[in-house]
A and B are shown apart, each in its own frame.
Chain A
Amino acid sequence: DGGITQSPKYLFRKEGQNVTLSCEQNLNHDAMYWYRQDPGQGLRLIYYSQIVNDFQKGDIAEGYSVSREKKESFPLTVTSAQKNPTAFYLCASSQGVNQPQHFGDGTRLSIL
């Protein structure tokens, strides 16, 4: 079945540590997204990529970095510069920017 796979499901970060969240899709979609979801708030866009080797910052990119070396993969690194990283992180993809997004089942990141 085609879909988006996020791993790990749960992740714990120590002070000063960088952590990387994985996102892989087999839908052959060009566009991929990373969102952060906090209780009582709408999804907020961290980064967007429309094509391999190209990506744009969203509303809350500070303290995060991404790469897009392959069409299928869009990993997100939460750096030590992100002072409030505890959240539910969602990866999505779409066939085009006007099309609905397909989401993975998220990674919940917590501070140790």
Chain B
Amino acid sequence: EDQVTQSPEALRLQEGESSSLNCSYTVSGLRGLFWYRQDPGKGPEFLFTLYSAGEEKEKERLKATLTKKESFLHITAPKPEDSATYLCAALPNTGGFKTIFGAGTRLFVKA
């Protein structure tokens, strides 16, 4: 069964304390791996798409990486405004339309 697992469920950091969020995926081939940011009471906002192992994407303090089994979202020197829930989603290579979403990691950055 296709599955996406994110860890940790919640992460508390001090401002400037770098860390990584993990997304493990078990899917029938991978067409794409997506990262989104979701603020409370809002819809997810797209961050990155990764298509093949070894690929990396960066945006400000965020960097996403991909291996054959997992993806990491690295946060360098986070600020309080980076506090949000980060969602990972995998699109299996089965020719269908269904994207599998993880439950998310809630990030809290304290000043």
Query: Measuring CB to CB, which residues of chain A are less than 8 angstroms from any residue of chain B?
Result: 4, 6, 31, 35, 40-45, 48, 50, 56, 58-59, 90, 92, 97-106, 108
- Interfacial chain B residues near A99, Cβ < 8 Å: 49
B87 on interface, CB distance cutoff 8 Å: yes
Chain B residue nearest to A103 (CB atoms) is B43
Which of B43, B45, B49 has the most chain A CB atoms inside 10 A of its CB?
A: B43
- Shortest beta-carbon distance from B58 to chain A in Å: 16
**B41 in contact with A101 (CB, 8 Å):** no
Q: Do the beta carbons of A103 and B44 come within 8 Å of each other?
A: yes
Chain B nearest CB from A85 CB (Å) reads 18
- Contact present for A98 and B32 (CB under 8 Å): yes
- Pairs across A and B, CB under 8 Å, 30 listed: A4-B43, A6-B43, A31-B97, A35-B101, A40-B9, A42-B4, A42-B89, A42-B100, A42-B101, A42-B104, A43-B87, A48-B97, A48-B98, A58-B98, A90-B43, A90-B44, A92-B43, A97-B96, A99-B49, A100-B46, A100-B49, A101-B34, A101-B46, A102-B46, A103-B43, A103-B44, A105-B41, A105-B42, A105-B43, A106-B43
Contacts A97-B91, A98-B31; A43 near B101 (Cβ below 8 A) = yes
Question: Ordered nearest first, which 10 A-B pairs have the shortest CB separation?
Answer: A103-B43, A42-B101, A43-B101, A100-B46, A97-B97, A105-B43, A42-B103, A103-B44, A48-B97, A105-B42
Query: B76 at the A/B interface (Cβ < 8 Å)?
Result: no
Roughly how many angstroms separate A58 CA and B96 CA in the complex, as a whole number? 11
Contact surface of B with A, Cβ cutoff 8 Å: 4, 9, 31-32, 34, 36, 41-46, 49, 87, 89, 91, 96-104
